[in-house]
Amino acid sequence: MPSENPNVHKTAAPEWDSIAARPAFQELLRVKTRFLTKMTVFFLIYFFALPISVGWFPEFMKKEVLGKVNLAYLFALSQFFMAWILAALYVRQAGKWDKMNAALLAEAHLEK
């Protein structure tokens, strides 16, 4: 049996269909899709460049660049930095999306 707590304020559920129809929501989706598509394509190309390079150009990738460290190892280590940079870019961009989302929801609640 549900109890009614007078200290709990009920808020109206957002009307998702009307929010989804707003131009600001469509813009948010467009911006997110564009960013995520670019980052995913870049990540996949960078990630698969190492095994492809080692497979197709083994002599080139064996070239020592820093003492005994060859180009293949250096490229593999660079993938850690690439992942951290992509994560930082994502976090920065997600903050912008959160602001867009908050503005959209505030606008939707003001028009009720």
Which pLDDT tens digit goes with each residue over 60-76? 999 999 999 999 999 99
Predicted TM-score (pTM) of the model is 0.75
Cα dihedral 18, 23, 26, 31 in deg (nearest 10): -140
Split at pLDDT 50, 70, 90, the class of 107 is: confident
The pLDDT tens digits of the residues spanning 27-47 come to 999 999 999 999 999 999 999
